[in-house]
Amino acid sequence: MVGTAAGGTSKIMIAVIMVVIISAAGFLYVLSNPTILSNFVIPTDEVDDSRIQGIDSPLKIVGDEEMREVAEEFGFLGTGSRADPYVIENLSIVSEGNCIDIRNVEASFEIRGCSVAIYNWQYSAICIYISNCQDACIVNCRTEGGISGIEVFQSDGCRVLDCTAKYSIFGLNFSLSDFPKVSNCIIDNNTEGIVLVGSHNANLTKNGIFRNVNGIRSQWTNGSFMTSNNITSNTQGVLLEQGCNNWTITSNWITFNDDYGIHLDSGVSFTCMYANMFGWNIVNNAKDDGLDNKWDESELEEGNFWHDYTGTGWYAIPGVAESIDHYPQLLE
C-alpha cells in the first residue's frame, strides 16, 4: 500500500497489516465470478458497462500549493473553501499506475463525473487514491480494475456519493479515515466490496452491493451505521470482524448470498440490528459469534424479517453468542 506520513503510530501499522491480510485473501478470488444475478440486482440499463476511454493523462497532486497550480492550469472551478471546493471534473483516464492520486491537501475538493480504469489486470495501482486530505468528496465517478476502485487513507470525513466501482480487489477501501460516508453507490463484482479498517463512525446508506466475495467487511471500526442497503448475490453479505463495536444496522435487504447474509465474528460487540430483511442466504441468514449484540429494538418492539421464520416464538441466531430476535417477522 502507499506509505504513511512521518510519525505513524502502532495503530497505523495494525491497520496496514489488516489491509494487507485482506488483500492477500482477495488475490485468491480475483479472477472468479462468485455468484449469479438475482432478481434484486439493479437492471443493466441503469449501469454504464461501456469500456472507459483513456482520453486524459493520470493526475497526481501533492499538497495545497500544487492543488492551486493544477486548478489554475487546467481551469478547475472553485477556490478550495468548504463553500467553494475545487472541482476536478469529467476526466477519463486509463492507466497502469494510479489514475487520480491526491495527497496532503487541506483545501476542500471534489472529484466529480470522472471515469477511471486500470485494465492491465496487474493489480498494482489504484483508480482513485486519497491520502491525508481534510475535506474530499467523490461524486458520480466510475472506477474499474486495480487494487482499489477508490482508496481513502488517513482522510477523515471523505464522502463517496453516486459512484460505481467494479472489477477491483477492493471496490471502496477506507483505512484510518473516520466519518466516511458512502451513499447511493453501486459496488459490483469486486473481491471485497466495501472495506473499513480503523475508520470509525462510518455511514453506509442506500448502496447496491452485488456479486462481491464479501459485500461489506470491517475490522477495528466503531460507532457506524448501515442503513437501507441492498446486499445481494455476494459470496458473503456482511462480515464484521475483530474490533467492530456499537454498529447500528437497520432496514437493509440482505438476500441470496452464497454464505452468510451477515456474520458477526468474535470480538464484535454492542451492535444492534433491526428492521432488516434476511432471506435465502445459502449457509444461513445470520451468525453471531460476538458479545452482547442485539437483534431487535426492544423500545420499538421491532425485530427483523426472516424468510425461514416459522411464524411463532422467537428467532434464534446461529453462533456461539446464542443471540435471539425477540420480535421476528416472516419475510415472504
Question: Which grid cell is 5?
Answer: 506520513
Burial class of residue 81 in the structure, from the number of CB atoms within 10 Å of its CB (0-12 exposed, 13-18 middle, 19+ buried)? exposed
Measured between alpha carbons, how far is 105 from 67 in angstroms, rounded to an integer?
8
Measured between alpha carbons, how far is 29 from 128 in angstroms, rounded to an integer?
22
Measured between alpha carbons, how far is 231 from 258 in angstroms, rounded to an integer?
12
Distance of CA 204 to the CA centre of its chain: 8
- Determine the pLDDT at residue 23: 41
Question: Which grid cell is 50?
Answer: 461501456
3-state secondary structure at position 15? helix
DSSP codes joined into one string, 185-204 = -EEES-SEEEEEES--S-EE
In the chain, where the domains are located: 11-200, 235-332
Report yes or no: 207 and 187 within 8 Å, Cβ to Cβ: yes
Dihedral, CA atoms, 320, 322, 325, 330, nearest 10 degrees? 70
Measured between alpha carbons, how far is 224 from 245 in angstroms, rounded to an integer?
8
- Report, as ranges of residue numbers, the positions in the chain whose pLDDT lies below 50: 1-45
DSSP codes joined into one string, 233-246 = SSSEEEEE-TT-BS
Alpha helices in 124-282 (DSSP H): none
Burial class of residue 257 in the structure, from the number of CB atoms within 10 Å of its CB (0-12 exposed, 13-18 middle, 19+ buried)? buried
Backbone angles phi, psi at 23, to 5 degrees: -60, -45
- Determine the pLDDT at residue 318: 98
Measured between alpha carbons, how far is 270 from 148 in angstroms, rounded to an integer?
30
Q: How far, in Å, are 60, 68, 87, 189, 234 from residue 33 at the CA level?
A: 32, 43, 36, 7, 10
Measured between alpha carbons, how far is 330 from 190 in angstroms, rounded to an integer?
31
Distance of CA 19 to the CA centre of its chain: 13
pTM for the model: 0.87
Largest CA distance in the chain: 68
- Determine the pLDDT at residue 29: 36
